[in-house]
Structure 1
Amino acid sequence: MNMSIKRFSVGFLAVIAAVVGIWAGFFPLSFHNEFPLPGWGWVSRLGPYNEHVVRDYGLSNVALLIITTWAWLRPDEKVYRVVGGGRLAYSVIHFIWHMLHLSAFPTVSRVGAVVSLSLIVVFSLLPMLPDRSRRAAEAP
């Protein structure tokens, strides 16, 4: 896996963290009622509004945004592995929870949740993969 793909992955994760983090952290009722798009209400289908929980989720993503952006600005193999590992731990648990609760959604939302959460898992894994180009350059 080359560094440009890893850097793109880390940037993608930062953008997702920014959108979700700012929306849920600073506009929790709107996030609860409207995420991922107005009228869809994925979060509201999972239970009653709890400002504390939604803000905590959002601000956790703001923390991930800060760490992920820092990594994006300093492209380094080790930094990408650490950030990817942390993001992977977070995103796999989030993915599993949502896969166990898909029954609350209509089919189009189920597909959307599976695809979007799968992408986040994949983009968390990519920065952790070995750099083939570097390994080839070091070969005798």
Structure 2
Amino acid sequence: MRGYVRSVLVVFGAYQLVLGLWLLFFPFSFYDDVPTVDWTPPYSEHLFRDFGGATLGLAVIFIAAAVRFDRLLSVVALLAYLVGAVPHLFFHLGHLEGDSPGWSIALGVVLAVSVLVPAAALAMVRQVT
């Protein structure tokens, strides 16, 4: 279980780092190249860049939690992520009509996994830190 929790912190930290850099420095590329993002226009460079900066902040918390690996920091990182990821999942589940059924299913599965994996790590934190 300890390895699972730390792996989630590392993987999600790396993911947030890459995502944050992409959003901050290449916002139109993110909007234009990621399937499903343009289902809910309009494009806003300001919003994408701000979200990129916030995502980088979350990456810092994840990476610190993975390095330090104590209960409080791990819980804060996972909860901070889930506070955004859960509403994101429900928003998209309510807006799946943007493209093909295949992309809608893929989006729903990816977003559900992106909530369930850290939620499972959060449930394990108490036992392993």
Structure 1 residues without counterparts, runs of 5 or longer: 135-140
The offset of 1:16, in angstroms, is 1.9
Distance, in Å, in 1 between the alignment partners of 2:94 and 2:101 is: 15
Distance, in Å, in 2 between the alignment partners of 1:121 and 1:49 is: 25
Q: TM-score, normalised by structure 1?
A: 0.82
Aligned to 2:33: 34
The 8 Å contact of residues 21 and 58 in structure 1, kept in 2 or not, is answered as yes
SS at match of 2:43: coil
The offset of 1:127, in angstroms, is 2.8
Distance, in Å, in 1 between the alignment partners of 2:126 and 2:27 is: 42
Q: TM-score, normalised by structure 2?
A: 0.88
- For the pair 1:92 / 2:86, whether they are aligned, the reply is yes
Query: Post-superposition, which runs of at least 4 consecutive aligned residues in structure 1 deviate over 2 A?
Result: 130-134
The structure with the largest helix share of the pair is 2
Aligned to 2:63: 69
Distance, in Å, in 2 between the alignment partners of 1:15 and 1:7 is: 12
Larger Rg: 1
Amino acid at match of 1:34: D
- For the pair 1:21 / 2:15, whether they are aligned, the reply is no
Aligned to 2:7: 8
1:47-126 matches, within 5 Å, as: 47-126=41-120
Distance, in Å, in 1 between the alignment partners of 2:31 and 2:17 is: 16
Distance, in Å, in 2 between the alignment partners of 1:86 and 1:126 is: 14
Structure 2 residues without counterparts, runs of 5 or longer: none
Report the count of equivalent residues: 128
Q: Percent identity?
A: 26
Aligned-pair Cα RMSD in Å: 1.8
Aligned to 1:43: 37
Distance, in Å, in 2 between the alignment partners of 1:114 and 1:4 is: 27
